[in-house]
């Protein structure tokens, strides 16, 4: 039940009378999975009747052409890409604060970016750096003589969200 509080601004609502639902009303694992793949983050009741997020996901379930696409479904993927971006940017800012842009600069920057990616791989944040390093391209911008462009391929370590097993009886 939502009620307006006259002491608060008109756009503020107060929730009254909400409580933890009975166990028979909790969504099943199948219902949770269905919610996940339809862009909804399911909640469940944990120890101590505390509400907890099952898995944080986005509403991105299809690409612009309408094809199913789970690439950015998990919020952790987006957060990991942002972390990689920040790590690369900070390394370049630290190592090249007032660097001249010569013919050698792209190779030096590429080397630093590879080092960042290898360190992130050790931390199990990204993977397959060696397999993707040929795609790491650092080159001068064709229109801005003071700019260096980089294409950084990142294979994010996926979360283990589903486990399936088979138990075989041996006699």
Q: pLDDT tens digits, residue range 37-73?
A: 788 888 888 888 788 888 888 888 788 898 988 888 8
Beta bridge partners of 3: 14
CA distances from 39 to 61, 75, 109, 155 (A): 6, 11, 38, 23
State the Cα angle at 39 between 36 and 45, rounded to 5°: 45
- Considering all CA atoms of the chain, what is the largest pairwise distance in Å, rounded to the nearest integer? 74
Question: Could you tell me which of 169, 154, 161, 120 has the C-alpha nearest to residue 32?
Answer: 161
pLDDT at 145: 95
* Half-sphere CA count of 27, side-chain side, radius 13 A: 16
Please, what is the average pLDDT of the chain? 87
pLDDT at 6: 53
| Cα 12 to Cα 160: distance, rounded to the nearest angstrom | 39
pLDDT at 2: 44
Positions of the chain with pLDDT under 50? 1-2, 10-13, 15
pTM reported for the whole predicted model? 0.74
Beta bridge partners of 139: 149
pLDDT at 25: 76
Contact 74, 56 (CB under 8 A): yes
């Amino acid at each position: 039940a939502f009620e307006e509080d006259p002491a608060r601004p008109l756009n503020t609502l107060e929730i009254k009378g909400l409580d933890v639902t009975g166990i028979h009303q909790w969504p099943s694992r199948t219902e949770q999975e269905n919610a996940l793949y339809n862009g909804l983050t399911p909640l469940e009741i944990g120890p101590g009747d505390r509400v907890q997020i099952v898995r944080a996901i986005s509403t991105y379930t299809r690409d612009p052409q309408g094809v199913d696409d789970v690439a950015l479904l998990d919020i952790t993927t987006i957060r990991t890409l942002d972390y990689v971006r920040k790590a690369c940017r900070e390394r370049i800012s630290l190592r090249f604060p007032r660097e001249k842009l010569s013919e050698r600069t792209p190779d030096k920057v590429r080397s630093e970016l590879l080092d960042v990616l290898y360190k992130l791989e050790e931390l199990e944040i990204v993977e397959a750096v060696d397999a993707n390093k040929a795609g790491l391209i650092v080159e001068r911008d064709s229109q801005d003589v003071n700019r260096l462009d980089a294409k950084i391929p990142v294979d994010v370590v996926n979360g283990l969200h589903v486990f399936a097993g088979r138990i075989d009886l041996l006699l």
